[in-house]
């Protein structure tokens, strides 16, 4: 019986069309011969296992010649240490870049001018600390240790080192601000 004839007979059965007795018998014979031809192999589980292994090899090829890592813990530890050090160095760099504090500058004799938009802190040669406001300027003499006179243009806060022998004197424009012997 050819495949075209079989398909036509099956379609007739599904459509509930009556077929002749010899046609139905022929279809039944064909169906029974299918069961006889397809005998179940005895080693079915072995065939399934072999088929599954073939599929796995094609989807996940295994290179059996690769050496296994003898020290996987060491490799993981090195990665973790590298990441930790990277975070530490990045944090240090960011903190030092964005740090608000400036290291005070110890000046030699002369003039110190502060940039606009910046408040600076520095030390005079006698150890007095000065915080200058934006756009301010401070002049002092070369012999500052004996002559503690400064000229200020702008605004500043002074934390003066005490020296009774040489008083601290500030001149601002036309005004002279006497002797300072204490913190103010």
State the pLDDT confidence band at 86, using cuts at 50, 70 and 90.
very high
**Each residue of 114-147: b (16+ CB within 10 Å) or e?**
beeeebbebebebebebbbeeebebebeeebeee
Give the domain range for residue 23.
3-37
Structure tokens at 112: 């110190």
User: For residues 151 and 170, what is the distance between their CA atoms, to the nearest angstrom?
Assistant: 6
Would you say residue 23 lies in a domain?
yes
Q: What is the CA radius of gyration of the chain?
A: 49
Would you say residue 85 lies in a domain?
no
- Cα–chain center distance at 18: 77
- Mean of pLDDT over the chain: 77
The better pLDDT of the pair 29, 173 is held by 29
Would you say residue 49 lies in a domain?
no
pLDDT at residue 180, as a whole number? 46
- Cα–chain center distance at 12: 70
The domain tally of the chain equals 2
Give me the mean pLDDT over the 27-51 stretch.
Answer: 76
Would you say residue 73 lies in a domain?
no
User: What length does the chain have?
Assistant: 184
Dump pLDDT digits (tens) for 12-25: 887 878 778 888 88
Is the model's pLDDT at 41 over the cut of 80?
no
Nearest to 109 by CA among 132, 143, 135: 143
pLDDT at residue 181, as a whole number? 42
Structure tokens at 71: 């020290």
User: For residues 20 and 45, what is the distance between their CA atoms, to the nearest angstrom?
Assistant: 43
pLDDT at residue 84, as a whole number? 94
pLDDT at residue 89, as a whole number? 93
């Amino acid at each position: 019986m050819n495949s075209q004839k079989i398909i036509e007979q099956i379609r007739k059965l599904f459509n509930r069309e009556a077929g002749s007795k010899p046609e139905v018998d022929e279809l039944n014979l064909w169906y029974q011969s299918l069961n006889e031809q397809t005998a179940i192999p005895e080693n079915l589980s072995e065939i399934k296992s072999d088929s599954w292994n073939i599929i796995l090899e094609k989807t996940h090829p295994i290179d059996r010649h690769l050496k296994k890592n003898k020290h996987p813990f060491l490799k993981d530890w090195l990665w973790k240490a590298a990441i930790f050090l990277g975070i530490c160095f990045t944090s240090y760099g960011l903190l030092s870049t964005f740090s608000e504090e400036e290291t005070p500058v110890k000046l030699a004799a002369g003039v110190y001018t502060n940039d606009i938009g910046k408040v600076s802190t520095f030390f005079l040669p006698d150890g007095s600390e000065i915080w200058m406001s934006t756009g301010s300027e401070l002049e002092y003499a070369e012999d500052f240790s004996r002559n503690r006179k400064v000229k200020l243009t702008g605004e500043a806060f002074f934390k003066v080192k005490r020296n009774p022998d040489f008083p601290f004197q500030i001149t601002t424009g036309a005004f002279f601000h006497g002797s300072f012997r204490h913190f103010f």
